[in-house]
Amino acid sequence: MGMTLSEKILAEKAGRPSVSPGELVMAKVDLALGNDVTSPIAIKAFRAAGAKKVFDRGKIALVADHFTPNKDIASAEQVRTMREFAREQGILHHYDVGRMGIEHVLLPDEGIVGPGDLVIGADSHTCTYGALCAFSTGVGSTDLAAAMVSGEVWLKVPETLRIVLTGRPGKWVEGKDVILHIIGKIGVDGALYRSMEYAGDGIAHLPMAWRFTMTNMAIEAGAKNGIFPFDEVTRAYADARSKRPYKVFSADPDARYADEIRVDLSSLEPVVAFPHLPENTRPVSQAGNVPIDQVVVGSCTNGRIEDLRSAAEVLRGRKVHDGVRMIVFPATQEIWLQAVREGLMEVFVEAGAAVSTPTCGPCLGGHMGILARGERAIATTNRNFVGRMGHPESEVYLSNPAVAAASAVLGRIGGPDELGRRER
């Protein structure tokens, strides 16, 4: 019996000819990741184990992004712990203020992760890198500490859910809408400890940025990881960035799948996830009258240059509605610069939006956009749990960047097509 994409990669990294769902394997990691929230815990465990040196200073990445620039004394102390450890160990991939970015956008863009890699990170959205046909998943801080010592990770081989994409997305439909549609269909536990493997001719119509968005939110369906097959889109992205050779894996024709679902991309319209779960979805045309107080465009889910372009296309020549705060978070310094070069920053500022340095910021209720009691936000982030962006009596709605921008102009949740109708 053949193997799925995830099984192929795990077998290779475990040094075995094959693996099966449910098996426990010890696998070699190509990159172990920590951020300013999770690294200090891992560093404490590293020292408690009596370790003196990391297994490979080129296979560890430490990224300050969650509370950076530091919002208070506690976060400053956390980042200092990570900074001092990085210097002590000579960590090659250490990113701090001025060089930093949101980890799950920064690392692939820098070519530090690539196709065929096994990546673990002490952050649940480490599953993002599956867009590159890598096996990537989130782990706990103690697992990160063990990997920093040994270069290995203990994993249970997941079952695989095959998601067949057909058709071509229509105007204003983006990767965020595809993954929200899927989560709305199967639920937040619909892929519990499974690999979400994408297939079908519809993949050809998904740019790399959209694929990153879709694998980023695999965890919102309960999945262990999300993964796309390697194709020419993957090759073009990886060849332009990869710092080392990579290996291409493909699923076997007779691979075993636990289940299969099909999605016709041409049938979708922009989707909004209502509070307080990503599965609580409805088409934007059925959103009703939901006034908003804040709009957030950014995060590891939708902070790429393509996302900023999408929001700017809607905002150009328009103004953010009176009483609405709009905050834009480019995911990396390079994306920030590219937005300047393309004139996107001018569009945002002239529309009445604020633009931030790269940071996770309000996505996790960290800083730079916390909600007060009773406030509502529509955001391009990945989670809308109770209190996720601030007060437990606030509300977060999830959407793609174009819908978020249109909502900023309308003062309520709505799609870009409504702006066109109004102006005609």
Read off the pLDDT band of 223 (50, 70, 90).
Answer: very high
Q: With 70 as the cut, is the pLDDT of residue 424 above it?
A: no
With contact defined as beta carbons under 8 Å apart, do 354 and 248 qualify?
A: no
Strand 225-227 relative to strand 194-199: parallel, antiparallel, unpaired? parallel
What is the pLDDT at residue 376?
A: 97
Tens of pLDDT, residue by residue over 346-365, are 999 999 999 999 999 888 88
Distance (Å, rounded) from C-alpha 59 to C-alpha 296?
Answer: 33
Mean pLDDT of 328-342: 97
What is the pLDDT at residue 423?
A: 41
Mean pLDDT of 102-112: 96
Mean pLDDT of 8-32: 97
Mean pLDDT of 110-126: 96
Read off the pLDDT band of 100 (50, 70, 90).
Answer: confident
What is the pLDDT at residue 422?
A: 44
Q: Please give the share of the chain, as a percent, with pLDDT higher than 90.
A: 94
- The structure tokens listed for 182 are 């899927």
pTM check: above 0.75: yes
Read off the pLDDT band of 250 (50, 70, 90).
Answer: very high
Tally of CA atoms within 13 A in the half-sphere of 312 that contains its CB: 23
Q: With 50 as the cut, is the pLDDT of residue 30 above it?
A: yes
Quickly list DSSP for 2-62: B--HHHHHHHHHHT-S---TT-EEEEE-SEEEEETTTHHHHHHHHHHTT--S-S-TTSEEE
Tens of pLDDT, residue by residue over 251-296, are 999 999 999 999 999 999 999 999 999 999 999 999 999 999 999 9
Establish whether the linkage from the previous residue to 229 is cis, with ω within 30° of 0.
no
* Chain centroid, CA 325 distance in Å: 23
CB neighbours of 409 closer than 8 A, spacing ≥ 6?
314, 315, 318, 319, 320, 321, 351, 419
What is the pLDDT at residue 363?
A: 84
Nearest to 381 by CA among 312, 321, 294, 309: 294
Beta bridge partners of 262: 164
Mean pLDDT of 371-397: 94
Read off the pLDDT band of 421 (50, 70, 90).
Answer: low
Tens of pLDDT, residue by residue over 293-326, are 999 999 999 999 999 999 999 999 999 999 999 9
Amino acid at 204: A
Q: With 90 as the cut, is the pLDDT of residue 386 above it?
A: no
Domains in the chain, start-ordered, CATH in brackets? 5-263 (3.30.499.10), 272-423 (3.30.499.10)
Report the mean per-residue pLDDT for the chain: 95
What is the pLDDT at residue 373?
A: 96
